[in-house]
Every structure is written in C-alpha cells, then in structure tokens.
Structure 1
Amino acid sequence: MNKDPYNLVVAGVGGQGNVLGSQLIGTVLVNQGYKVTIGETYGASQRGGSVMSHVRISAKRQYGPLIPPRFADLVIALEPSEAARVLARYGNRNTVAIVNTRPVYSIDVTGGAVHYPETNGLMEKIRSLTSKAYFLDATDRALQMGNPILANIIMIGAVSAAGILPITESNLEKAISEVLSSEKVSVNLKAFAVGKELIASQISRDC
C-alpha cells in the first residue's frame, strides 16, 4: 500500500457476502499490525439492496469510518452496476477496481420498471472511472464450487494476486478461523486460489 490511509470500498447487494469479505480483509490487516476502521451502509432491503463497506487502513492511526467522495484507492465490487455507482462517487483517476461480472437484477429490473445497463457499456463506464479495472466471473466460479457466497473469497484472492493488499494464504487462513471457524478454512482457501488464478492472465497482460 502506497498511501496512508489506504481507502477500500467493498460493494455489492444484500446476500452476496461483501460485509463478511470486508471483515476478513480487516482481520488480516489488523493481525499484521495495521489500524483498520470499517463502516457499513445498507440499502432499502437486507437482501437485494445495496450494501457497501468502507475499509480505512493505516499504519499510523485510526481514521473515521467514512471515506470522503473521490478518495477510494480500491473498489472491490461483487456486482457490476454497484461498481459503477460507487466509482461515480468515490473513484478518482488513481482508483483500481476489481469487479465481479455477474449482474444481480433487482425487483424493479425483473418487473420491467427499470432498465439494467448494457454489459459492454457498463464495463466501459467502469474503466473510465478508474486507472485500472479487472473483471472476473467470480460468481460463476463460486457456483462451480457449490456455493455462490464464495465469490467474495475469490475476489480477495484476486486482490492478493494483484499485489494490492498484503493478503497471503496463511494470514487469510488465520482470519477465517477467527471470523468463521476452522471447518470453513479448506473451502475458502480453495476459493482464494481460484481468485488468484482468475486474475493472473489479466495481470500478465499488464506486464
């Protein structure tokens, strides 16, 4: 991390596990001596509404829980339209985004009251709001593993492989044992490895 504080937004919709993802990231970093503050906001409904976690990381002191507009360094988005929405408010020309490509359609969209953005246009918008955007089919791979909630761990694996945050298999294993249970370690570490694999080809193209 080349900034202090380092500002991370984890965004998605209710039921995707992004709050758990932010807690695991926070635990990994606290265990390494960082001071971490997490603030969460929820949409209108617990499942299906917007959910966003602000994670502020510092080696020096505890910061307030809310990231100012335009000050996100990294956005991890479990849903692409949420990525665009969050980046429009918190992104800047140096922001990096890691985005799960699987849309989640709200009741308004499925009922025809609201139009969901076209995929290519949405991805272009995300690219225009960042210095670098990575797109991963995390939900599809999580479903292949038998549990869509593992998409959040797949995304954490991608963050690790990109070298953005100091997250390793060993320190994530410790955090999973603390936040969840030791029984959850094996499957989550497999998801972590999948995330590292998914982003590897995109990282190699940047080199």
Structure 2
Amino acid sequence: MKELRFDPLNIVVCGIGGQGNVLAAEVLGSAMCDRGFRVAVGETYGASQRGGSVMSHVRVSAKMDPSVLIPSGEAHIIIGFEPLETLRMVRKYAGKDTTVVYDPRPVYPLGVLQGIQQYPAVEDIAAEIKGLTSMALAVPAAGIAMEAGDSKAANIALLGAFSQLPGAPLSREDLEKILSQRFKGAVLEINRRAFAMGCEAAGKGAE
C-alpha cells in the first residue's frame, strides 16, 4: 500500500453539475478503501443540478477515521473540472503544500452567455491558481474525453492525471481496478482510453 504524504490526506473534487464530479469522488473513495485506507467522502455543496457548483471532500487516513469536512487552507490535492470553480476552491482550501490538477476549459454560466456577466480571462485564472499552490497541472480532460469517444469521460481522464501526481495515494493500477468494477463493455473501454490518455497527459506535464 502506498504511504500517505499527509495523514489525513485531504482531497477536494470540484466543478459544475453534470461533469461527473460526484462519480469521481466515489471512485477515489472506493479505490482507497480497497487499498486499506480509512476514507470519508463529504457531502456535495451548492446546487448539484446541471450548471450549478458542485464540490466533494475526500479525506483519507491510514490510522484513524477522519472527519468529513476539510478545514480551510488544508487541502493537499484539488481536482478541478472547471477553471473558475477550481480557483474558487483554491482560494478557500489551498495551502503551501497543495497540488492542483484541473481542466482549463471554461464552462460559461448563463449570465456570461447572455452578456450580463463577465468571465475572467483563463490566463489570469491559471496564473492565480499557480501562484496560490505548490504545483498546478492543467490537463485538457474534456478534449481527451472527446478523443477517447465520450465527452462524459472527462472525469475519468482527470483521475488518470491525478494518479500521476506526486503524493497521490493511488497508483494507476489501483484506479484501473475500480474502473473495471464500475463499468462494463464499451463504456469500460472508453473510460480505459480516457484514463490512459489522462495519465499520459500528466506525465508530459500538460499545460
């Protein structure tokens, strides 16, 4: 079993409703339980319907039952499915040891599409995320998912990238095992492709 860099290890999974954030947190929790860790997966916050903000707390320990909620400034890893939502979580939960892996493709809210609101420049978002964390890795998960065969596999692509992070408590093989348990047939093959491509993108230091 891989050792935890921090105990408890605190992981935030965040994004927009409909992106598969909750499933990603469940897969992480299942894989870590399978490896013998004690895991707490927190409630999702915000509006969970498509288009609303969604976040999950995942806390992992090798020696105790962790409480559910991650204190502000104490996230060690943030997995983000949308850049502005990732920045919001970074501002609240990141500390000097935080690593972030996120998809830099924006999902514009209705107000922006209607011209009522403005969305910050993606370059500015990326710069602030990088400045507030010890490591920030941008992985084009949505594009990877489309190439793999299904746009809904972006969450699996990001899990692949996550498995390559320094300090990740799970190996590529750990997560592939859970994918094989969760999915079958053509869906499994698509998710395997997305996962492998996410691993490769992280290994190349994708921007």
Residue 39 to residue 200, structure 1, CA distance change in 2 (3 Å): same
Q: Which moved more, 1:41-50 or 1:4-13?
A: 41-50
Normalising by structure 1, report the TM-score. Answer: 0.92
In structure 1, how many angstroms separate the alpha carbons of the residues matched to 2:188 and 2:96?
Answer: 36
Q: Could you tell me which amino acid in structure 1 is paired with residue 6 of structure 2?
A: K
The correspondence for 1:18, drawn from 12, 15, 21, is 21
Residue of structure 1 in register with 2:139 after alignment? 136
In structure 1, how many angstroms separate the alpha carbons of the residues matched to 2:149 and 2:18?
Answer: 16
Q: Could you tell me which amino acid in structure 2 is paired with residue 181 of structure 1?
A: F
In structure 1, how many angstroms separate the alpha carbons of the residues matched to 2:172 and 2:92?
Answer: 32
Residue of structure 1 in register with 2:183 after alignment? 181
Question: How far does the alpha carbon of each residue in 1:135-192 deviate from its partner, in whole angstroms, 9 at most, with x for none?
Answer: 11110111122311211111111111224324334332332244x3333432222111
Q: Does the Cα contact within 8 Å between 2:78 and 2:99 map onto a contact in 1? A: yes
Q: Does the Cα contact within 8 Å between 1:42 and 1:49 map onto a contact in 2? A: no
Q: Show structure 1 runs of 5+ residues with no match.
A: none
Residue of structure 2 in register with 1:28 after alignment? 31
Residue of structure 2 in register with 1:55 after alignment? 58
Q: Show structure 2 runs of 5+ residues with no match.
A: none
Residue of structure 1 in register with 2:102 after alignment? 99
Residues 26-175 of structure 1 correspond to what in structure 2 (within 5 A)?
Answer: 26-44=29-47, 46-175=49-178
Normalising by structure 2, report the TM-score. Answer: 0.92
SS at match of 2:15: strand
Q: Which moved more, 1:46-55 or 1:138-147?
A: 138-147
SS at match of 2:58: strand
Q: Does the Cα contact within 8 Å between 1:40 and 1:51 map onto a contact in 2? A: no
Q: Could you tell me which amino acid in structure 1 is paired with residue 9 of structure 2?
A: Y
Q: Does the Cα contact within 8 Å between 1:84 and 1:125 map onto a contact in 2? A: yes
SS at match of 1:42: coil
SS at match of 2:179: helix
Pairwise CA RMSD: 1.6
Q: Percent identity?
A: 40
Q: Could you tell me which amino acid in structure 2 is paired with residue 182 of structure 1?
A: K
Cα shift at 1:44: 3.3
Q: Does the Cα contact within 8 Å between 1:72 and 1:92 map onto a contact in 2? A: yes
Cα shift at 1:119: 1.1
In structure 1, how many angstroms separate the alpha carbons of the residues matched to 2:24 and 2:143?
Answer: 18
The correspondence for 1:190, drawn from 177, 188, 193, is 193
Q: Does the Cα contact within 8 Å between 2:41 and 2:59 map onto a contact in 1? A: yes
